[in-house]
Amino acid sequence: MASAAQPHDPIGELITDKWILSIDDDQQYVAFRPFGWTGTDPHERVTADTREALLAKLRYRARHEAEPP
């Protein structure tokens, strides 16, 4: 039996197992590394005034981290 194709989820691919999204006490959108993160800087936080701005920052980082120096 063939399985149905899963829809493309670009936001899920961007953050799954890499970032936890939240809103802090100052009503800023925050992304921080999940517990047990073994990559660089496990205490890293990215903030923005809107959800869209936060996702734009994470997309930018993902694109530029994947490129070799």
Which residue carries 């670009």 as its tokens?
A: 10
pLDDT at 62: 85
pLDDT at 40: 84
CB 33 within 8 A of CB 42: yes
CA atoms of 23 and 30, how far apart (whole Å): 6
Report the alpha-carbon angle 14-9-63, nearest 5: 30
pLDDT at 31: 95
Residue 31 lies inside a defined structural domain of this protein: yes
Residue 1 lies inside a defined structural domain of this protein: no
**Domain span holding position 14:** 10-66
Residue 4 lies inside a defined structural domain of this protein: no
Residue 2 lies inside a defined structural domain of this protein: no
Q: How many residues does the chain have?
A: 69
Residue 5 lies inside a defined structural domain of this protein: no
For residue range 13-51, what is the model confidence (pLDDT) as tens digits? 778 889 999 999 999 999 999 999 898 889 999 999 999
- Number of domains the chain is built from: 1
pLDDT at 67 over 70: no
pTM for this prediction:
0.76
Residue 54 lies inside a defined structural domain of this protein: yes
